[in-house]
């Protein structure tokens, strides 16, 4: 029996995934977590073979959770559940140790195929995601061609944007800058407003597009 934890803050999505996964007798969803912080607490008690990880979650997003899980539980496989098919974001998560990527609009058969493939030690990319990455041009950053929104950012906000794009958590950023994690969270909220993005994935895409991180 392959044991799975689903980490997704949308309960209907998580329950739907659980229902699909458990139709196959080989798989058992042993827990559902609403965010990365809750997931890490669950891992202190139960260890799955695979985590199905959403990227955009409150409290601790999937990127931060992936970093922590790789440090603490390197043997657990991670399949990222995403609506985002940007090449830079996929590469970033692969570098952090994700084992597979499934777009949330993938069908049942592909979802089960991904679980089976990753469990056996392989890497898996959603077929739609693979085509998107092949067709997506590699963006190049020309000096002086930055988005005009950058002019609105303070030096501290740019510093924090770079650290967010590198995958650091609020606590890690706070420790580096000698400020509280709540102050970091305030800066992150301000960054989202100024750059007109809705989540951490959006901040990372923006940072990559504008040359703040390779």
In CATH, what number is assigned to the domain containing residue 194?
A: 1.10.10.10
Q: What is the pLDDT of residue 70?
A: 94
> Would residue 168 count as lying in a domain?
yes
Owning domain of residue 30: 2-135
Last residue of one domain, picked from the residues 135, 166, 191: 135
3-class state of residue 43 by DSSP: helix
For 60, counting Cβ atoms within 10 Å of its Cβ (0-12 exposed, 13-18 middle, 19+ buried), the class is: buried
pLDDT in tens, 13-42: 999 999 999 998 899 999 999 999 999 999
Q: Are residues 83 and 125 in the same domain?
A: yes
Between these two residues, 196 and 151, which has the higher pLDDT value? Answer: 196
Q: What is the pLDDT of residue 55?
A: 87
Tokens for 94? 């692969």
Q: What is the pLDDT of residue 147?
A: 58
Q: Are residues 62 and 113 in the same domain?
A: yes
Q: Are residues 121 and 152 in the same domain?
A: no
Segment 85-92 shows an average pLDDT of: 71
Q: Are residues 97 and 191 in the same domain?
A: no
> Would residue 143 count as lying in a domain?
no
How would residue 93 be classed by pLDDT, with cut points 50, 70 and 90?
confident
Q: Are residues 69 and 170 in the same domain?
A: no
Q: Are residues 16 and 109 in the same domain?
A: yes
Alpha helices, DSSP H only, in 30-169?
A: 36-43, 62-72, 87-96, 108-119, 127-135, 155-165
> Would residue 113 count as lying in a domain?
yes
> Would residue 140 count as lying in a domain?
no
pLDDT in tens, 110-169: 999 999 999 999 999 887 665 455 444 444 444 333 456 777 888 899 899 988 888 788
Q: Are residues 117 and 12 in the same domain?
A: yes
Last residue of one domain, picked from the residues 135, 167, 182: 135
Q: What is the mean pLDDT of the chain?
A: 85
Q: Are residues 28 and 99 in the same domain?
A: yes
Tokens 């989540």 found at: 199
Percentage of the chain exceeding pLDDT 70: 86
> What is d(CA 189, CA 125) in angstroms, rounded to the nearest whole number?
31
Chain centre to alpha carbon of residue 106: 17
pLDDT in tens, 8-20: 999 999 999 999 9
Q: Are residues 127 and 180 in the same domain?
A: no
Q: Is the pLDDT of residue 185 over 80?
A: yes
Tokens 């609020």 found at: 170
Last residue of one domain, picked from the residues 113, 135, 157: 135
- Beta carbons of 129 and 104 less than 8 angstroms apart: no
Residue 6 DSSP code: E
Q: Is the pLDDT of residue 73 over 90?
A: yes
In CATH, what number is assigned to the domain containing residue 39?
A: 3.40.50.2300
Percentage of the chain exceeding pLDDT 90: 49
> Would residue 127 count as lying in a domain?
yes
Q: What is the pLDDT of residue 58?
A: 81
């Amino acid at each position: 029996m392959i044991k799975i934890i689903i980490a997704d803050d949308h309960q209907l999505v998580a329950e739907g995934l659980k229902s699909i996964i458990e139709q196959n007798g080989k798989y058992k969803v042993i827990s559902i977590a609403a965010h990365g912080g809750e997931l890490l607490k669950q891992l202190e008690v139960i260890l799955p073979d695979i985590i199905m990880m959403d990227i955009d979650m409150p409290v601790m997003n999937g990127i931060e959770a992936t970093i922590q899980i790789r440090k603490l539980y390197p043997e657990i496989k991670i399949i990222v559940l995403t609506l985002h098919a940007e090449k830079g974001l996929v590469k970033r998560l692969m570098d952090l140790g994700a084992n597979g990527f499934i777009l949330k609009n993938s069908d049942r058969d592909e979802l089960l195929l991904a679980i089976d493939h990753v469990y056996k030690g392989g890497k898996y990319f959603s077929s739609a995601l693979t085509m998107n990455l092949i067709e997506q041009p590699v963006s190049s950053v020309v000096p002086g061609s930055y988005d005009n929104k950058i002019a609105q950012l303070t030096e501290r906000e740019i510093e924090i944007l770079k650290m967010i794009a590198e995958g650091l958590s609020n606590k890690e950023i706070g420790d580096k800058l000698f400020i509280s994690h709540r102050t970091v969270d305030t800066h992150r909220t301000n960054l989202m407003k100024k750059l007109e993005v809705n989540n951490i994935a959006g901040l990372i895409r923006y940072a990559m597009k504008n040359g703040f991180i390779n």
